Amino acid sequence: MDIKAAPPSPTQIIKSPGGPIIPKPVKFLIGGTAGMSATLFVHPLDLVKNRMQLSGEGGQKRLYSSTFNTFQQIARQEGILKLYSGLSAGLLRQATYTTVRLGVYTLLFEKFSKDGKPPNFAEKTAIAMTAGAIGAFFGNPAEISLIRMCADGRLPIAERRGYKSVIDALVRMAKEEGILTLWRGVGTTVSRAIVVNAAQLATYSQAKQLLIQNGKYFGDNITTHFVASMISGLATTLASMPIDMAKTRIQNMKVINGIPEYKGAIDVMSKVIKNEGLFSLWKGFTPYYARVGPHTVLMFVFMEQFNRMYAKYILKDDRKVASL
């Protein structure tokens, strides 16, 4: 799953005053590519978070004691390259979720802008939540592939699913379990996206505003964006992790003799609280939080550079296109 700072307004992504205009389809492509590029750097944190959330499931022995211990065990027992297990699914998730999310956000942002004035805060929140929900629906097949591919290495060899790539995972799931399996847990995926977008929009915007207004060391630059992203990420992580825990376990569960391990998100959370303790709902907190700010900043940095490259080499205009 994936948390990001509030998407910049369409004018921030497409053009600056007097600058070149990038076509919307290209802008959406750039947004997805930027998200994929950032994922190359933070994917191991996703894998560690997923492993920690599944550790101790069903009364089994807890495999990992901390984030560092999880990294250490995976590297020692499976090999350092296994930290990138499921990378193809992570990239596809960005190609679907991020592209759709940014596209819907931008279209709705423009629709609700009146006389050159952007939507008010309540409208921005509703737009971000809607965009996140729609993006999450389209990204769910890649999401479930990511969860399963990340989880595989913790199982005995005989119990592993052994997906070779995200395409292999999608084809096998559809063939072996039915096409609807690709949208298993979509309700929790969409719910998490709504909570994430609602929480991060308010906290990111407010944190950035307060830093610029009250901090002499902060301007509208990458340092401020990073700090605001980390503040926003803390609030968003606290709010969304119980839902993310439920999503991870539902999407990874096996159906035995037609009986699923969990009936739904509430069933997952109640069983986790009963068997593992209340705070286990936030299992994997550190790697989940640690990827929030870096992924956000990296995505926007890549997005800006890709915009500039397109303007310079395709549009033959080297004026500034996007600003962070």
Q: Distance (Å, rounded) from C-alpha 97 to C-alpha 103?
A: 10
Q: Distance (Å, rounded) from C-alpha 24 to C-alpha 104?
A: 11
CATH class belonging to 10-313? mainly alpha
Phi, psi dihedral angles at 184 (to 5 degrees): -65, 135
**Count of CA atoms in the C-beta half-sphere (13 A) of 205:** 16
Q: Distance (Å, rounded) from C-alpha 259 to C-alpha 190?
A: 24
Structure tokens at 253: 């569960």
- 204: Cβ–Cβ under 8 A, 6 or more apart, which residues? 5, 6, 228, 229, 231, 232
Q: Distance (Å, rounded) from C-alpha 43 to C-alpha 195?
A: 22
Sequence ranges of the domains in the chain:
10-313
Q: What is the pLDDT along the chain (324 residues), one digit of tens a residue?
A: 454 444 444 444 444 445 567 888 888 899 899 999 999 999 999 999 999 999 888 777 788 889 999 999 999 999 999 999 999 999 999 999 989 988 898 889 889 988 878 888 888 889 989 999 999 999 999 999 999 999 999 888 898 999 999 999 999 999 999 999 999 999 999 999 999 888 877 788 788 888 988 777 888 777 888 888 888 889 889 999 999 999 999 999 988 888 999 999 999 999 999 999 999 999 999 999 998 878 888 887 898 789 889 988 998 887 665 433
Q: What is the pairing mode between strands 255-256 and 259-260?
A: antiparallel
Helices 186-214 and 222-252: crossing angle, nearest 10°? 160
* Predicted local distance difference test score (pLDDT) of residue 258: 86
Structure tokens at 283: 């299992």
Structure tokens at 256: 């035995």
Phi, psi dihedral angles at 129 (to 5 degrees): -65, -40
Residues belonging to the chain = 324
Q: Distance (Å, rounded) from C-alpha 223 to C-alpha 278?
A: 35
